[in-house]
Amino acid sequence: MSVSALIVLIYVLVLASYLGFELISKVPPTLHTPLMSGSNAISGITIVGALIASNEMGYGTLSKWLGLLALVLATINVVGGYAVTDRMLKMFKKK
């Protein structure tokens, strides 16, 4: 990877972190548990990396098995995280 590509990635990291701090500090304490389970689901974005890794054919099966393991785990995170967050948020009602 070139240094200029790295700089672009660092830009994205810094700006996204700043935006994250701004947005998340506005989430009310009532929703902190769904926020955590929802961010569990978002951290499942590694699924994209896992898909790419699982695709790597021919060079050492270890590489591929690790990719598939990551894929199962990241999918659990994504599906389980979003589903349980929805289940929780459904219960928050105002009467």
Other beta carbons within 10 angstroms of residue 11's beta carbon come to 10
User: What is the C-alpha separation between 86 and 65, in angstroms, rounded?
Assistant: 32
In the complex, the smallest distance separating the C-beta of residue 44 from other proteins, rounded to whole angstroms, is 6
Residue 28: left if φ>0, alpha if ψ -120 to 50, beta else—which one?
beta
Least distance to other proteins, CB of residue 9, Å: 6
Task: Find the shortest distance in angstroms from Cβ 30 to other proteins.
Answer: 5
Q: How far apart are CA 77 and CA 86, in angstroms?
A: 14
